[in-house]
Structures are given as C-alpha cells and as structure tokens.
C-alpha cells in the first residue's frame, strides 16, 4: 500500500464531505473488487453492476462506518453480500471464459526478448486460462476463501468474519484450494 491516508481515513474524509477522498478510495479498490466478482463467476456486465451496487452501498453507509475492522474487510463483506443477493434472486449459470479472455487481465510477463514472441505469448495465455479454469473448478467455499485472500488481501480472521465460519475452517478451505490449484498447474511447471 502506498504512503498517504489509510482507507479508513479516506472514508472518514468522504463522510465529512471530501469527494476527492472517495475518488482515491475508489481508485485503490475498484479493480480488485471487480476481479473478485469476475472470478466468483460473474460475467463482465454483471460484475460491473455488482461493483456499482457495492460502491453505492459504501456511499450510503459511509457516515455510519465504524472502523472495528479494516475498510477492506467491510468492503468485501458488502461485495460478498451483493453477490450472494444476486445468486439468491437469480438462477444464473456462469463461466470464466470471458474473464479468461479479458485483455485487461493479461498474464504478467517478465521483461526480456522472449516475452514478445508469439509462441511464448500463446503459452502464457494458455497457462493463464488453465489457472482460471482451475480456480473455477474449486468448490464454491474454497474459491471464495481463495479470492478473498488473493484479490482482497484479507487475513484469515477477516475472511472468517466475512464468511461467518471459524478461523480453522478458513485455513482448511485455503489449504484444500491451494492443493487443488497446485495439482491442476503441475503440467505447466
């Protein structure tokens, strides 16, 4: 995290009327929350809608926010709630195909002349798609814990609070998720 005001300070400043503080907060967290929705199975249009609903909830409740936990814990609790509400109200089949082909989510490439070669780029893209498929194949509770940790940067305690399960349950879900992901990616190593 960069130097400057904390997320909690930015939210308090926004609640006090500083619109620029909200902009800074949004800029910090917009892409990770959007990716969280995509990787939870939302199509890009749905992820946009859920993202907007999440930030509207942040706006509505900013004045009542009490920093008992980190802002990100609260933000991902709101995001998860929006996703769960969507699942409850709609029976939607989802696919990660669109997310895997999102040009904004291109795999990280190390600098060097080989990175520009088409065969290397194709291999890198295929590996990224295999990883997305492996994440998609995780059981929902394991995928959720994995995404909250990797996309949200949340601790085990924060994930436990958001998902309303015990600390050890979160540890188990993450351990099983990592084991399955490592196994799925063995062919790429």
Q: Which CATH architecture has domain 7-188?
A: Orthogonal Bundle (1.10)
Low-confidence spans in the chain with pLDDT less than 50: 1, 91-101, 103-113, 115-116
* Tokens encoding 148: 């909250």
- pLDDT attached to residue 92: 40
The closest of 152, 144, 112, 59 to 121, measured between CA atoms, is 112
- pLDDT attached to residue 152: 86
- pLDDT attached to residue 123: 58
- pLDDT attached to residue 124: 65
Burial 22-53 (b: 16+ CB within 10 A, else e): bebbbebbeebbbbbbbbbbbbeebbeebbeb
- pLDDT attached to residue 114: 52
Whole-model pTM: value is: 0.61
């Amino acid at each position: 995290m960069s130097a400057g005001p904390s997320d909690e300070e930015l939210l308090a400043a926004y609640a006090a009327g500083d619109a620029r503080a909200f902009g800074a907060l949004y800029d910090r967290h917009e892409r990770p929350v959007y990716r969280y929705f995509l990787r939870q199975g939302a199509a890009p249009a749905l992820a946009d809608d859920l993202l907007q609903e999440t930030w509207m909830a942040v706006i509505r409740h900013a004045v009542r926010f009490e920093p008992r936990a980190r802002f990100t814990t609260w933000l991902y609790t709101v995001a998860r709630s929006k996703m769960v509400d969507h699942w409850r109200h709609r029976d939607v089949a989802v696919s990660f195909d669109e997310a895997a082909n999102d040009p904004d989510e291109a795999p990280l490439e190390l600098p060097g002349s080989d990175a520009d070669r088409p065969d290397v780029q194709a291999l890198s893209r295929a590996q990224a798609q295999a990883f997305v498929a492996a994440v998609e194949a995780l059981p929902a509770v394991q995928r959720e814990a994995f995404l909250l940790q990797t996309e949200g940067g949340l601790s085990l305690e924060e994930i436990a609070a958001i998902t309303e399960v015990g600390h050890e349950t979160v540890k188990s879900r993450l351990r099983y998720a990592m084991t399955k992901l490592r196994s799925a990616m063995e062919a790429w190593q």
